[in-house]
Structures are given as C-alpha cells and as structure tokens.
Amino acid sequence: MSIDVLLGDAANLPVRAWRVAEGELRLQFAESAEDRTLRCDGCERRHWIVQSHVHEGRGALAVRCHGCGRASELFFAEVPAPWR
C-alpha cells in the first residue's frame, strides 16, 4: 500500500513516472522513489480520469476526480526536447 498525496500538493511536484492501477493514479515524483497514490482533497476519493497531453511544450497529465469532478494538471519532470 502506497502513501497518499493530495491533489493540491501533487500539482507543485514534478512527476517522473505514473500509472493507473484499478482506477487509482500512482505517481512517482522526481524527488522520491516511493509510489504515491493521488487522493482528491475535495471528496477524499482516489479514482481519476487521466489524460496525458502537452501543455506549453511540457508533458502534462490532466486529471479529473471521478467523485466530485475536481480537476487539475500535473507536470512531468523532464521537459521534452524540441523536434529537429
């Protein structure tokens, strides 16, 4: 069982790796090797609708809570290299 991280805290931390397991979003942040499970700071649930995309040249994850609809974006630690 991994430690929870609240959505409001996760939005400030660069993400190194992520995966969805049983509807829960597992995150590894750049500063720590441990898995964290994203938890909603609105309704306390851990189920998310996740979409990866590029936002202003950076990789990002758009997340939306299944329970209360709270939404945010998480950013990846690595900035993708420009296409040459």
Residues of this chain that bind Zn ion (CB under 5 A): 40, 42-43, 65, 67-68, 70
The strand ranges marked E within the chain are: 3-6, 15-21, 24-29, 35-39, 48-55, 58-65, 71-75
Provide the minimum distance between the beta carbon of 51 and Zn ion in the complex, in angstroms, as a whole number.
Answer: 17
Query: Smaller CB distance to Zn ion: residue 32 or 51?
Result: 51
Provide the minimum distance between the beta carbon of 30 and Zn ion in the complex, in angstroms, as a whole number.
Answer: 25
Provide the minimum distance between the beta carbon of 5 and Zn ion in the complex, in angstroms, as a whole number.
Answer: 14
54: left (phi over 0), alpha (psi -120 to 50) or beta: beta
Residue 19, strand partner residues: 26
Query: Smaller CB distance to Zn ion: residue 58 or 70?
Result: 70
